[in-house]
Chain A
C-alpha cells in the first residue's frame, strides 16, 4: 500500500525559519508556500491518516487542507505555530471527509499501519517505550470509532487543547471531553487489560498440571 518516506523530504524547520517562510508566503510568495508544503506534508499526512484511517481519505484531506491554508494564509495571525494552525485545518477537513464517508459507505479501517520513526535519537521517552506497546496502541487506535479516535489523536498525540478540538470537530467542549474520556478508557482496555488477560491465559497453559 505504502512506500517509505524519504527522510530528506521531512526535514524539520526551526521556528525562525518557519516564521520567515510564513511571512514570505503571506506576502504572496508562492515559492515560500511551496517550501512550507515540502517541510510539513509528511506531518500533515500522518495526522490525516490517523484521523481518517485510510490512505485514500488521508490524501484527499491533505490536499484540501493545503488548499484551505493557501487561501486563508492572510488570515493566519501568527499567534500560534503554523503547524498547529495546519493541524486545526487538517482536523476540520478530516471531520468533513469522515462525515461525507459516513453518508456513503461503511467505515473500512486499515490497521496495517506502517510507521517511520524519524527522530528516535531526540525522543528518549518514545525510545524507552517498547515497540510492541507502540504497535498495540496503534492497533487499538485504528480500532476506535472515528469520532473517538479524532479527539484522542488531536489531544494526546498532537497536543491540541479541548477548546480547539471542539471548534474544529464542530462539537461542544464537554462533548470533546466525554469522547476523550471514552477513547482513553477503550485504549487502556485494548492495550493493557487484553494483553494482561492473554498473558495470564498463556501462563495457565504453560503451567504443568498437578
Chain B
C-alpha cells in the first residue's frame, strides 16, 4: 500500500461527500486508486462514519419543554374554532345578502306593478 499525495487524492477528497449519495461517480481508475491508497481509504472511512453517525441521530429526540404537546393541541383547537366562526359568519353574511336581494326584488316588483297600473 502507498501513502499517495498526488492529484487523484485531492480530486477524490473533493468527490467524497458526493459519493455518499452516488457511488457511480467513481470511475474504475478511481476505485483502483482508492484500493491502494491509505489516505483515500481513511478519507472515505471518515465520511462513511460521519454519515452513519448522522443517521443514528434520527433515533435521538431533542427534549422539549413540558406542556408542548398540550400547547400544540390548544393551538389546533383555536384554529378550528376560528375557522368555524369564519364559516358561520360567512353563512350569516350570505343569508343577509340573500334576504336583502329578495327584499330589493320584491320592492322593485311592487314598484313596477304600481307604475303599470298608473299608466293603464
Contacts and interface: CB of A to CB of B under 8 A. Distances in A.
Interface residues of A, number: 62
Contact residues of A: prevailing secondary structure: helix
A191 B53 CA distance: 11
B72 A63 contact: yes
B72 A37 contact: yes
Interface residues of B, number: 33
Contacts of B72: 37, 41, 62-63, 66
Interface string B64-98: 11101101110110011000000000000000000
A174 to B, nearest CB: 12
Contact of A66 (B53, B54, B65, B75): B75
Given A46-B60, A66-B75, A181-B18, A59 B65 contact: yes
B76 A125 contact: no
B65 A2 contact: yes
A129 B56 contact: yes
B30 to A, nearest CB: 17
Interface of B: 17-18, 20-21, 46-47, 49-66, 68-69, 71-73, 75-76, 79-80
Given A30-B80, A70-B76, A134 B53 contact: yes
B46 A192 contact: yes
14 contacts: A2-B65, A38-B69, A41-B69, A45-B62, A66-B75, A114-B63, A115-B61, A118-B59, A123-B59, A125-B55, A126-B60, A134-B56, A156-B54, A188-B46
